[in-house]
Amino acid sequence: MENQDLKLGFEKILQGNRDWMDFVKEDKTGRFQQLAKGQNPEILWIGCADSRVPANEITGTKPGEVFVHRNIANVCVHSDMNMLSVLDYAVSVLKVKHIIVAGHYGCGGVAASLSRKQFGVIDNWLCHIKDVYRLHAAEIDAIDNQEKKEDRLVELNVIEQVFNLCTTSIVQNAWKSGQPLAVHGTVINIGTGSLEDLHTTFTNNETLGKVFAYK
Ligand code: CO
């Protein structure tokens, strides 16, 4: 690598790993040897790709405890094979008990979706959030402060993505087979570190509505 800055940046990453290896080596609980054999997490976390919202740190969990999927603005679309593959593996194979959709205030993806500016390829992804805005346009338009509009859309986006997860055949088939599974919607406040419950938890398909709830 010729660029000195890049070289130093990568070296810092490798040094960070050596520190981690020391930590693993000093651990006397045997949990890393156990983890090397396999995982048994009870939580699937679907969060934003934003660097400020790491699943483990925010929930006080350790390696092996959270199965993670992150994308820009924690969007869950029924045709996203990446999300569906993660969801199916987490629910059908790992049999997680909780799915946490975690949005965050100050989400750049949500802010961008409320503007008419083009940002490139991502515009087509953000259009899913514009769809959420369309469902709640009257409420969002009535808020007379841009930051508050964005924060409310962050919450509504989470609520919508929770619904999208619950309407998948994957989640509904788990419920149908009697598997205990709760899907929660939450929002992270980066400044305080809090993970706020949006009280939009589903544990069955009873309230999904006529065409969404499979028989
Ligand atoms: Co974000």
Active site residue 134: no
- pLDDT, residue 210, reads 86
Structure confidence by residue, pLDDT tens digits, 86-101: 999 999 999 999 999 9
Helices (H) and strands (E) in the chain, counts: 9, 5
Choose, from 22, 31, 52, 78, the residue flagged as catalytic.
52
E-strand spans in 34-171?
Answer: 43-48, 66-71, 98-104
In angstroms, rounded to a whole number, what is the distance separating the alpha carbons of residues 212 and 199? 20
CA of 33 to the centre of ligand 1 (A): 34
Q: Would you call 48 a catalytic residue per the annotation?
A: yes
192 Cα: distance to centroid of ligand 1 (angstroms): 16
Q: Which residue has the tokens 């651990």?
A: 27
Asked whether 45 and 59 are in contact (CB, 8 A), the reply is yes
Q: How far is the CA of 38 from the centre of ligand 1 (A)?
A: 30
If you measure from the C-alpha of residue 25 to the centroid of ligand 1, how many angstroms do you get, rounded to a whole number?
Answer: 35
Confirm whether 107 is a catalytic residue. yes
Q: What is the pLDDT along the chain (215 residues), one digit of tens a residue?
A: 789 999 999 999 999 999 999 999 999 999 999 999 999 999 999 999 999 999 999 999 999 999 999 999 999 999 999 999 999 999 999 999 999 999 999 999 999 999 999 999 999 999 999 999 999 999 999 999 999 999 999 999 999 999 999 999 999 999 999 999 999 999 999 999 999 999 999 999 999 998 999 99
Which CATH code is given to the segment(s) 39-197? 3.40.1050.10
Predicted confidence (pLDDT) per residue in 171-198, tens digit: 999 999 999 999 999 999 999 999 999 9
The residue assigned the tokens 């802010």 is: 111
Neighbour tally for 95: CB within 10 Å: 14
Residue 52 falls in the annotated catalytic set? yes
Model confidence, pTM: 0.96
CA 139 to CA 79: how far, in whole Å?
28
**Ligand 1 centre from 1 Cα, in Å?**
32
Strand partners, 196: 187
Measure Cα distances from 189 to 26, 93, 208 in Å. Answer: 34, 32, 28
**Cα(118)–Cα(113) distance, rounded to whole angstroms?**
9
Note the pLDDT of residue 2.
Answer: 81
